[in-house]
Chains A and B, each alone.
Chain A
């Protein structure tokens, strides 16, 4: 039975303590979503994990798509066939899918369609904190912002209703704090989805040729105008507190939570307008709110989007009202709404004191614990081998072009094998660009899922330009960093219901690349040889370092009843420290001057026992139990 089964079997009225993303998955089931698609990305990933496991049980069709663009196209097709469709991704995923979004807002939808973006203010697991609410303005589509798991579930259903009302895709925006907070959620009834889709021809055209698009734009503006006329009071928007307070606060999402807590802590009673729909701004509600207060503070994450709208409305009708927020510097422009920062921002205006605080320690007083590759991770062995190959070939100043995935942790010591890392697939595209302008050797690292997602066109481009570069494809069978979701290369045995998987080596060879070698990174000698050969080659070379993710291996070995551990034979250890310095597995540490292996952390990969890591053969296998 799946750990998520209770999200399927939970009865109406039952209370559960749910992660925001769990509540969203339940919301999709309660809404009767017929088709759900995604490409995994933190902080949205759990929604996909859950629907992958229990979606079929709810009668839903679920797809881990090859990338976000394809996911959105796939969901859009379901909508055109009249079905309820849901596509979700992390914020930067919407950049990939934005080409689709900008067209489907114009064509409009048939069956209701919701697009979820999980934004990441403060960048807990992302390259930026872009505020995807801009996309709603950019594409002229409605934007919904929940504040907690209960609202996430309820608002998702409202989002489908709004989509249905005006045949428009609706953006549903969470942030890390909403997706990854837990709260009490009361369940409602589930709806059995209608899976019988049919694309009805005739009537409205969905061909976005210029002549059609010209008319679509006017329709789109009219649709948004009609939605803006609704106040959604008590459904998405509400106001609370003293209607006669001089100061009024307008807020949404997690910023509301932090605002509410700060006001409660200091027992400040001012009116708060909490918005659940922020595009189009509920004009009438906002005007009424402005008419009641002399001073407005807007608290939102991340960019001043509500604030811009409020300022525009104030300029047009309430010149006496002063507006404060990010644009006048009251609230910082960067990062999530931290309770301490907000307290300081509001203290003077709201008339309360903030207690002085002297932290017990400063962050840099303690040895850091940055994220690390797991013990037994095949990527560690690959990075070790590449670094050794570069040293043996005496390559001067090679450029390491890295990519998105667990292997981006190769950026950290002792590997430092990431000079540039931007977005999905960039390792190969940026690497190719360098080959035109410098004679430094280029080594691009890309994972299996990222290769399928957007590495393939870049590799085609590299071949086309006859670039001299080494592309190391680190294939660990799954999309590991987001929680080991299946991708097109994942072995069939690890997927639910797939009939075949696709071979990266065959794809690479089909591009006409001659220097292609698949190796097992656990075999350092073989990997080192392949990397050196690749670096000597004049054109594009590809080394596929193929070995299952260490966590998958753990799960497999546990099932098979196998356990392997290694230990250091202290008498043989010369304390050369090559292993801790250059291999840096978290299971290795130094105690009383000697290297030891933590038997709990050791994954039994045995790479450290190979002479490249331990030239003194001091690391031996401990036990093999069946």
Chain B
């Protein structure tokens, strides 16, 4: 397997944790992985991207145009990250909107989500999930990154076994939060499978 996965979101959404779980699950399956985290100026609230490269790679940065799968925790940040992905590649996006201050100070509102998703799906294979709602139902909105991960696994677009993903979640979380995250994973997984089924029956 040689796969380049680009993760995007906003600081505080758990993007690095998501990259860590994907990487460790791939390692558990016998793959080599290099991953990059950039620790920017802001402690919270800035754009965050994480590159995960599975296979015989050396540099932690995915060349622009070589991204196989983009996983976005936030719509604007997903779209921003897609400048690095080739059109026609796969994109999974959580629909949680986080309004950047650059809009708020001009009293401008967040771009229309449907239009934003449409502009992406015209150029990419897109699947979306309301990961925050799924996570909230599982016990905590904080598990949104894990619900999104379950969703990605459910689409079949990420060559990771559910077992290795579960194992790695178990290494990071414990007790009550582990329980919540495993429920979130499961619910995301079912939604991912359903989304894929829906697509096969009614291709866009």
What is the interface of chain A, defined by CB distance below 8 A to chain B?
15, 17, 19, 42-43, 45, 124-125, 147-148, 176-177, 180-184, 254, 256-258, 260-261, 264-265, 338-340, 343, 355, 357, 359-363, 366-375, 406, 408-409, 413-414, 480-481, 551, 577, 580-581, 584, 586, 588-592, 598, 600-601
Binds A, one of B98-106, B179-187, B194-202: B98-106
Q: Is B65 interfacial (CB-CB < 8 Å)? A: yes
Q: List the A side residues contacting B35 at CB < 8 Å.
A: 17, 181-183
Q: List the A side residues contacting B64 at CB < 8 Å.
A: 339-340, 357, 359
Bound complex: CA of A260 vs CA of B61, how far in Å? Answer: 13
Closest to B60 in A: A181
B99 near A589 with CB under 8 A, answer yes
Interface bits B23-46 vs A (CB < 8 Å: 1, else 0): 110010000111111111111111
Closest 4 interchain pairs by CB? A371-B42, A589-B99, A339-B63, A257-B59
A148 near B42 with CB under 8 A, answer no
Q: Is B56 interfacial (CB-CB < 8 Å)? A: yes
Q: List the B side residues contacting A180 at CB < 8 Å.
A: 36-39
Bound complex: CA of A58 vs CA of B51, how far in Å? Answer: 32
A480 near B102 with CB under 8 A, answer no
Q: Is B76 interfacial (CB-CB < 8 Å)? A: yes
Q: How many residues on B have C-beta within 8 angstroms of the other chain's C-beta atoms?
A: 58
CB proximity of B160 to chain A, nearest CB, Å: 15
Bound complex: CA of A375 vs CA of B99, how far in Å? Answer: 13
Within 8 A of A (CB), among B89-141: 98-105, 107-111, 123-124, 141
What is the interface of chain B, defined by CB distance below 8 A to chain A?
10, 20, 23-24, 27, 32-47, 56-66, 76-77, 79-80, 82-87, 98-105, 107-111, 123-124, 141
Closest to B37 in A: A180
B57 near A551 with CB under 8 A, answer no
CB proximity of B37 to chain A, nearest CB, Å: 5
Q: List the B side residues contacting A480 at CB < 8 Å.
A: 43
Q: List the B side residues contacting A414 at CB < 8 Å.
A: 105
Bound complex: CA of A170 vs CA of B132, how far in Å? Answer: 50
Contact A125 to B41, CB < 8 A, known contacts A258-B59, A360-B83, A360-B85: yes
A481 near B43 with CB under 8 A, answer yes
Q: List the A side residues contacting B101 at CB < 8 Å.
A: 369-370, 372, 413, 584, 586
Closest to B26 in A: A17
CB proximity of B99 to chain A, nearest CB, Å: 4
A590 near B59 with CB under 8 A, answer no
A355 near B32 with CB under 8 A, answer no
Contact A261 to B79, CB < 8 A, known contacts A359-B64, A584-B104, A591-B109: no
